[in-house]
Amino acid sequence: MQPVVAAQSTAIHLLNCFTCNARVPARLRTGTLCLLVETDCGLVLVDTGLGEADYAHKTAILRAFQVVTRLPLNPDETAVRQVVSLGYRPEDVQEIVLTHMHFDHCGGLPDFPWARVHVHRRELEAFQGRPKRWTDLAYVRRQIAHKPEFALYSETGERWFDQAAIRLPFAPEMWLVPLYGHTRGHCGVAVRTESGWHFHVGDAGPVGLDAYTPDWLARAVLGPHTPRLRAFRDAHPEIVMTTGHMWLDFFEAGLGG
């Protein structure tokens, strides 16, 4: 199978790095969105999806997902294979930014063992600490067993639009936008692309920000931000907004949305 790749411009590629479909209803098919951004520091990968080791030795949580969802589990969806099929070398990815450290967002870290990993300090602390809530069970320790170099961030008082944000050390501009709730250190990532801002809100909102999710469920699983993020999207139609999990149509359409 060809990797599912959509290029928004020459500067940013939208990759599906883990397909996860509902059993019922079967039409609910999603991919896990990772951004591959061309910057002055080389390629910056935002989230990784699953990695080669997840296919070779399935984690307990992945086996649990296999029971409750339909997973094609195609290793061609790994970020490292898609980077290669885009014509780059894996070593061209020297920097990885994480929205959060759940298994479906950072499983690919071991495929880029040399890469520096940029994440909010609170998120790494939550990952390494004792589980405090059921969503912490989606942290898989072995995914950082290779001991990557971390660049950790905390709030600085800066803002991106009307939101507290932390500037990342790349050009074009990239910002970590704290959106706590899904996990204790979860952040969105804003990227200035050739065609304008792209705001990836990770798992702070339901699929495409549009999927119907009861308020109590969204709040429990995704955190409190969905209404505010929808209002921000309505106020800024010029900004492309994506979520950590997007309908497969988004990737198949080649441009998203």
Contact call for residue 54 and Zn ion (CB under 5 A): no
Amino acid at site 65: F
Q: Which of residues 110-169 bind Zn ion (CB under 5 A)?
A: none
Contact 46, 97 (CB under 8 A): yes
Is the bond preceding residue 178 a cis peptide, omega within 30 degrees? Answer: no
* Stretch 161-200: interaction string toward Zn ion, x if CB under 5 A: ----------------------------------------
DSSP codes joined into one string, 108-170: TGGGSTT-EEEEEHHHHHHHHS---SGGGGG--GGGGTT---EEEE---S-EETTEE-EE-S-
Strand ranges for 41-101 from DSSP E? 42-46, 69-70, 93-97
Measured from the CB atom, is 4 or 126 closer to Zn ion? 126
Number of residues that bind Zn ion (CB under 5 A): 2
SS3 call for 211: coil
- Give the one residue of 203, 208, 223, 251 binding Zn ion; rule: CB under 5 A: 203
Which residue among 102, 118, 184, 200 contacts Zn ion (CB under 5 A)? 102
Q: Looking at 69-77, 101-109, 113-121, 225-233, which segment touches Zn ion (CB under 5 A)?
A: 101-109
Q: Which stretch binds Zn ion (CB under 5 A): 35-43, 47-55, 100-108, 210-218?
A: 100-108
- For the bound state, the minimum distance from the C-beta of residue 250 to Zn ion, rounded and expressed in Å, comes to 18
Those residues with Cβ within 8 angstroms of residue 129's Cβ, 6 or more apart along the chain or in another chain: none
Residues forming contacts to Zn ion in the complex (CB under 5 A) are 102, 203
